Amino acid sequence: MTFGERLREKRIEANLSQEELAKRVGVHARSIQNNESGKRYPKNLEIAEKLASALGTTSQYLLSERDMFIMEAGEKGGYRAKRDISALVEEVSALFAGGQVSEEDMEAAMAALNEAYWVAKRKNKKYVPKAFRSEG
Residue 49 shares a structural domain with residue 80: no
Instruction: Name the burial class of residue 7, with classes exposed (0-12), middle (13-18) and buried (19+) by CB atoms within 10 angstroms of its CB.
Output: buried
> Tell me, what's the pLDDT at 122?
77
> Tell me, what's the pLDDT at 4?
92
Residue 34 shares a structural domain with residue 83: no
Threshold 0.75, pTM exceeds? no
Residue 73 shares a structural domain with residue 103: yes
Contact 78, 108 (CB under 8 A): no
Residue 71 shares a structural domain with residue 125: yes
> Tell me, what's the pLDDT at 131?
67
Domains held by the chain: number: 2
Residue 34 shares a structural domain with residue 86: no
Which of 22, 45, 62 delimits the end of a domain? 62
Domain range for residue 116?
Answer: 65-132
pLDDT means over runs of 10, the chain (136 residues): 92 96 95 92 89 93 84 82 82 71 75 79 68 60
Residue 32 shares a structural domain with residue 88: no
